Amino acid sequence: MSARGGDRFFIITGGPGAGKTTLIEALRERGLQTMPEAGRAIIQHQVAIGGNALPWADRELFAELMLSWEMRSYAEAQTLEGTIFFDRGVPDVLGYRRLCGLPIAAHCERAAANLRYAPRVFVAPPWREIFAADTERRQTAGEAEATYEALVHVYSTLGYELVELPRADVADRVRFVQAHLAIHHG
């Protein structure tokens, strides 16, 4: 499986609780195409069936399911036209593995090399004022910041240019993303 999202597959990444999913939902409400986050859905599914592929149970299995989810999302996006926003992407799996001290297997590196997204990645910085733990998000604010750092490292290492989202309300973040796309696509 080799593909290029070129200039139309945009990732929004960052640590947990930084407003990524809220931004993705706002973009979707404005008629833009989006792909959902893997982690939260996998946790919900695994809890519902009593599964073990959870970040607090079997991190290796959880990472493998996230990789499969992200690869499926990428393949689905290739069947769509236009700009698509991803709530995380394949490189996030490498960041998760790095954060957890799990080895980054060759197949994960191949997936990140073969499934490329737009060169600019939007990254939500840690934002303690909006961070909140919940049923699926059990990390502390400090762990969220460590996740952010791991992701910045991985995306930079993979040659992506990180565009930091402002710590602003969702409407301002939507305008920021749209303005940024207009500058680079207009």
Position 102 scores a pLDDT of 96
Which domain CATH number covers 75? 3.40.50.300
Is the dihedral angle over the CA atoms 48, 112, 85, 144 positive or is it negative?
positive
Claim: this prediction has a pTM higher than 0.85: yes
Alpha carbons 18 and 22: distance in angstroms, whole number: 9
Enclosing domain of residue 49: 3-185
Position 186 scores a pLDDT of 44
What element of type H or E holds 120? strand 120-124
Alpha carbons 133 and 74: distance in angstroms, whole number: 28
Token pair 């969220």 in the structure block, residue: 144
Position 92 scores a pLDDT of 96
Ranges of residues in the chain with a pLDDT under 70 are: 1-5, 127-139, 141-142, 183-186
Number of domains the chain is built from: 1
φ/ψ (deg, to 5) at 140: -85, 170
Three-state secondary-structure class, residue 75: helix
3-4/33-35 β-pairing? unpaired
Position 146 scores a pLDDT of 85
Side-chain-side CA neighbours of residue 10 (13 Å): 25
Residue pair 72/58 in contact (Cβ under 8 Å)? The answer is: no
DSSP 91-119: HHHHHHHHHHT----HHHHHHHHHEE--S
